[in-house]
């Protein structure tokens, strides 16, 4: 198996990110630097597949290829999506040791709602890369009531700094609350769009990614995707 594909299968990164790591000299096979034409040989172990060679990324050994796992997590406000052990509020402290799971993208610490957790590097790449334009839906409350012109302006695309956002789908939920569906994933995009039109976001909750719905999963809880949910999600990114 090609080295970049193997790294993606371990869940440590996407295949594209693995290619960059190899290019930058951050991957070793045994005691030598890896290159793009390297391949590895896999063997079965009691806990999964591993390569005969010892692979290191950033001088850390790569472990086995675990079976693919797909979970849905309802993130609370205050949980940091970065997997950093030194942060007491890191998502890392809420995840099981095995299988190793990674969030698909991030939600800001002051946002809440749906996160996909998986060790499938290829799915992560397809969901996160802007070229694929996958839909994410949010329920947003702002600091005061808005008129219909606000909905029209948000839907058409908003200019802030040196960015003009792509058109999106808007729907009113209440006098001061709206639903927005984006196919973009810019940093703090919804907050900055709202701010550019004179409103401050006071609550932001992601309720769906593609076909996957948050539903009534309690805040701070996680569950595996059902077989139907997984099939629909994989079909939507095929």
- Cβ-based burial of 146 (10 A; exposed 0-12, middle 13-18, buried ≥19): buried
d(CA 41, CA 54): 11
With tokens 């695309």, the residue in question is: 157
Cα–Cα distance measured from residue 79 to residue 98, given in angstroms and rounded to the nearest whole number: 20
10 Å CB burial of residue 184 (0-12, 13-18, 19+) is middle
- 108 catalytic residue (yes or no): yes
Residue 79 burial (CB count, 10 A): 22
Out of 108, 176, 203, 232, the active site residue is 108
How many helices (H) and strands (E) would you count in the chain? 6, 17
> Per 3-state DSSP, what percentage of the chain is helix, strand, and coil (rounded to 5)?
25, 30, 45
A 10 A CB-CB count for 18 gives 27
Task: Give the catalytic positions in this structure.
Answer: 108
């Amino acid at each position: 198996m090609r080295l970049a594909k193997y790294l993606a299968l371990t869940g440590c990164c996407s295949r594209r990110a693995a290619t960059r790591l190899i290019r930058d000299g951050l991957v070793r096979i045994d005691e030598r630097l890896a290159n793009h034409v390297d391949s590895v040989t896999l063997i079965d172990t009691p806990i999964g597949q591993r390569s005969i060679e010892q692979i290191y990324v950033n001088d850390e050994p790569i472990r086995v290829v675990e079976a693919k796992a797909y979970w849905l997590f309802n993130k609370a406000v205050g949980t940091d999506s970065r997997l950093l052990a030194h942060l007491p509020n890191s998502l890392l402290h809420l995840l099981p040791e095995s299988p190793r799971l990674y969030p698909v993208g991030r939600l800001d610490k002051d946002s809440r709602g749906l996160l996909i957790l998986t060790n499938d590097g290829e799915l992560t790449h397809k969901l996160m890369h802007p070229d694929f334009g996958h839909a994410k839906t949010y329920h947003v409350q702002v600091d005061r009531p808005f008129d219909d012109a606000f909905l029209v302006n948000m839907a058409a695309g908003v200019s802030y700094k040196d960015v003009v956002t792509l058109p999106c789908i808007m729907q009113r939920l209440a006098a001061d609350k709206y639903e927005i569906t984006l196919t973009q994933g810019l940093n703090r995009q919804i907050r900055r769009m709202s701010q550019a039109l004179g409103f401050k976001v006071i609550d932001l909750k992601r309720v769906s990614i593609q076909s996957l719905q948050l539903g009534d999963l309690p805040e701070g809880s996680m569950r595996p995707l059902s077989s139907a949910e997984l099939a629909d999600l994989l079909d939507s990114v095929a």
